[in-house]
Chains A and B, each alone.
Chain A
């Protein structure tokens, strides 16, 4: 494969991953426009650093990591901490109705917004984006044990909010 083909190839792979990058960004930044800004910054960085991507690594994990770091930089540089991911007011509805089998997407998202950031990102990467524990830990730059415990705590908190039909966690 020539260098040019490799370059176009990675660009098109990134294009294909944009929907997922946007979804992950929504877990970082609530405002969709701001979330897309972070995606754009991340994609530009990724292109600049594409020689750092090892082709044996998953491109999605690598991009998620760049995206997360771009978001951290953005929060710092723009002082936008306050705007980042404010829990939405409609969270009060969580757990009111009997949820049965169909817990709607909206409720799941709302519950997710109420998690502390560490847990939210662990849940987002593993449960929504389908990353392995190892890949998710790499994205978040934490040991796998830390990832696992964040994920477990996040799930437990979600369980409390969502009341899945199987009953309470013992």
Chain B
């Protein structure tokens, strides 16, 4: 009985139908040569299964996880840039801080701004677990960031703060919103009060120098995506210090239109 090698291969791969399977199994019993050829196909299958096995063991780059969750910038634009994701941008920003005293915006810094759509999914923000938390309806400020947003005034530049608050304003619904800079991450964000939480509306990575002298002038250093988000939400003027103190005293509770 002659059986083509492709048929034996399909059998070894579990692709043969029941009738073919039965006839091959009969043939294997009768003809050691056929049994040997099937064994060869199976051995090949086993051997190739191990190929590139180390890739499976490797940690998956953060930028790919971010892309799968819908948070990455298009790969086509960033394929070989040093800043491919938030973690990368943060590292780049840190390297910049260490290696350079340059404090002005670079074109690359603008390109590194990353506005995140926050309606679904969540962000794994490594090393900052208490700053950003994922909830079913989006991102909210974690305990440390919420504390900063609720308690700090915008002129607070004390050392060791996890976040510096920038601009405070009311949105069109009367809720308070504040911009902030995560000190460790060189990331800017915008959060609005949502009942007792601070909901994150936007986050942007700024790969510029973030020393204290710079973020005193919060408005000018605000990354374009955050500035755009502020402009889209703001109703009236930003709060002055007295208004901030009053809002803080009221627990940043939503106020009716003034």
Query: Is A81 an interface position by the 8 A CB rule?
Result: no
Select one of A39, A156, A162 contacting B64, CB under 8 A: A39
Query: Is A148 an interface position by the 8 A CB rule?
Result: yes
Chain B 36-63 near chain A by CB (<8 Å), digits 1 or 0:
1101110111011111111110101101
Chain B 97-113 near chain A by CB (<8 Å), digits 1 or 0:
00000000000000000
- Bound together, the chains give a CA A33 to CA B84 distance in angstroms of 12
The verdict on A155 contacting B44 (CB below 8 Å), with A43-B68, A127-B49 known, is yes
Select one of A37, A41, A155 contacting B41, CB under 8 A: A155
Stretch at the interface among B4-12, B156-164, B178-186: B4-12
Query: Is A23 an interface position by the 8 A CB rule?
Result: yes
Do A4 and B64 touch (CB < 8 A)?
no
Query: Is A121 an interface position by the 8 A CB rule?
Result: no
- Bound together, the chains give a CA A19 to CA B61 distance in angstroms of 10
Chain A 16-34 residues near chain B, CB threshold 8 A: 18-20, 22-23, 26-27, 33
Query: Is A152 an interface position by the 8 A CB rule?
Result: yes
Do A112 and B74 touch (CB < 8 A)?
no
The verdict on A109 contacting B74 (CB below 8 Å), with A127-B44, A133-B10, A159-B40 known, is no
Count residues of chain B with CB under 8 A from any CB of chain A. 45
- Bound together, the chains give a CA A166 to CA B55 distance in angstroms of 29
Query: Is A103 an interface position by the 8 A CB rule?
Result: yes
Residues of B within 8 A of A (CB): 5-6, 9-10, 13, 15, 33, 36-37, 39-41, 43-45, 47-56, 58, 60-61, 63-65, 67-70, 72, 74-76, 79-80, 84, 120-121, 136
Residues of A within 8 A of B (CB): 4, 7-8, 11-12, 14-15, 18-20, 22-23, 26-27, 33, 36-37, 39-41, 43-44, 47, 103, 105, 108-109, 112, 123, 126-128, 130, 132-133, 148-149, 151-152, 155-156, 158-159, 162, 164-167, 169-170
